[in-house]
Amino acid sequence: MALVYGDYGYFPALGECLRLSFATLSYPYIIFALLIALIRPDEEEASEEDLVRFADSTGRLKLVIAHDVILYVEAQENYVSIHYMEGEKQKEYSLRQSMKGIEDLMAKHGIIRCQRSYFVNPRHVTVLRRDKEGFIQAELDVNNGKQVPVSPKYYEQLSKML
């Protein structure tokens, strides 16, 4: 510091050295943060729209998940069973709600009805097949190759989306 700025005392030179060192060392972190912001702009705002908020029959919020991880929704008496992926594992959540009660929510997020007791996410349907008995099955892209029944009433709508 004495060579660059002239005759400095010890403590003023130490303060100036620390200030310049901090400024120089912080540049890579600032540049890295700006690059990350450019690569992934507004990630939280986009994902907030993609969340499906499931509430039970009393209106209490019970489950919040992204719409693209939902595989299918199955009716079970007074409950609906939501099948979804969490990482590589398939999970299931039972919710006290009717199929009619979540129909608008499912339609809003692109998950369509394929039978009286099922909603299916078309993003996870790989193929529609007719089995030996003549029933139509939607095969999903999960590890166990789960098949969801499709009624003739909803077949046309589902096949258009694929």
CA gap 17, 14 in Å, rounded? 5
For residue 97, count other CB atoms closer than 10 A to its CB.
Answer: 21
Question: Residue 105 pLDDT more than 60?
Answer: yes
| Pick from 47, 64, 102: nearest CA to 80 | 102
Instruction: Tell me what pLDDT residue 3 has.
Output: 63
Question: Residue 6 pLDDT more than 80?
Answer: no
| Element of type H or E holding 52 | strand 51-55
Tell me the three state secondary structure of residue 55: strand
Tell me the three state secondary structure of residue 74: strand
Question: Residue 9 pLDDT more than 80?
Answer: no
Does the pTM surpass 0.75? The reply is no
Tens digits of residue pLDDT in 22-76: 888 988 889 988 888 888 755 444 466 788 999 998 999 999 999 989 999 999 9
Phi, psi of 60, deg, nearest 5: -80, 135
Average pLDDT over residues 6-18: 78
Instruction: Tell me what pLDDT residue 46 has.
Output: 40
CA gap 5, 139 in Å, rounded? 75
Read off the DSSP letter of residue 68.
Answer: G
Tens digits of residue pLDDT in 108-133: 999 999 999 999 999 998 888 888 88
Measured CA to CA in angstroms, residue 41 lies from 33, 34, 44, 124 at distances of: 12, 10, 9, 27
Average pLDDT over residues 133-142: 88
CA gap 123, 106 in Å, rounded? 13
